Amino acid sequence: MSRNFYLYPVWVRLWHLTNAVLCIILIITGLLIGIYDPSVDAADRYQSRVSIHNISGILLTISYIGFFFGNLFTDNGKHYRARIRGSAKRMWRQVRYYVSGFSRGEEAPFPVDNENKFNPLQKASYIGAMYLAVPLVIISGWIMMYPGFLARLPEGFNGYAFTDTVHIVLAIIISLFLVVHLVLSITGRNLRSIMSGWKESR
């Protein structure tokens, strides 16, 4: 039997859309900044890439603050609280379902309901993305926009290069998350849910 649950309130859908668009712009402009070659490209092209990247980063910060406080003060936050005990076992059950059970038409091991919007893998990846990778990429981006603070670090330590490396590694992690997230959203037929708010439990 399948049932419908209203799991994505309007604010989550608006935040998610803004966040997705900004992340995609940031990934593309970040890549274009990385491959900029001064011997071929005009300097103003570099500057416009940096400007779009920085403005999107500032907007991402504002949207992240909305997400953070939205989760703090609404019911949506409960889906981001993890039980560490037994989590590896639960994630493994979900992996097994994705790898073989799903194609054999087996019942999902963690059916969706109002108390459990995410399966264990979704929960772990969303917590990792939203409470680790995204805030750290934002913080490292702000540090590079205002590098004056790095001057206080001990001499000989290239704080800017270090922050840049951290920023790039996190951007790669978020890009990989996005690819997996897209594949699972499409195969799991969830795209309609994040637009309408309703999810069907199978």
**Contact residues: ligand HEM, CB under 6 A:** 8, 12, 16, 19-20, 23, 76, 79, 117, 122, 126, 129-130, 134, 174, 178, 181-182, 185, 190-191, 193-194
Please, what is the minimum distance in Å from the beta carbon of residue 123 to ligand HEM?
A: 9
Provide Rg for the chain, Cα atoms.
20
Q: Which is nearer to ligand HEM, 121 or 143 (CB)?
A: 121
Q: Which is nearer to ligand HEM, 16 or 93 (CB)?
A: 16
Q: Which is nearer to ligand HEM, 21 or 150 (CB)?
A: 21
Q: Which is nearer to ligand HEM, 81 or 152 (CB)?
A: 81
Please, what is the minimum distance in Å from the beta carbon of residue 78 to ligand HEM?
A: 10
Query: How distant is the alpha carbon of residue 17 from its chain centre?
Result: 12
Classify residue 66 as exposed, middle or buried by CB count within 10 Å of its CB (0-12, 13-18, 19+). Answer: middle
Q: Which is nearer to ligand HEM, 59 or 150 (CB)?
A: 59
Please, what is the minimum distance in Å from the beta carbon of residue 151 to ligand HEM?
A: 31
Beta strands of the chain (E only): which ranges?
Answer: 3-6, 198-201
Please, what is the minimum distance in Å from the beta carbon of residue 5 to ligand HEM?
A: 11
> Cα–Cα distance between 192 and 198 in angstroms, integer?
8
Q: Which is nearer to ligand HEM, 24 or 161 (CB)?
A: 24
Residue 103 corresponds to which tokens in the numbers above? Answer: 């194609």
Buried b (16+ CB within 10 A) or exposed e, 25-61: bbbebbebeeeeeeeeeeeeeeeebeebbbebbebbb
Please, what is the minimum distance in Å from the beta carbon of residue 189 to ligand HEM?
A: 9
> Cα–Cα distance between 183 and 176 in angstroms, integer?
11
Please, what is the minimum distance in Å from the beta carbon of residue 65 to ligand HEM?
A: 15
β-sheet bridge partners, residue 199: 5
Give the side-chain half-sphere CA count within 13 A for 95.
8
Q: Cβ distance 7 to 195 under 8 Å?
A: no
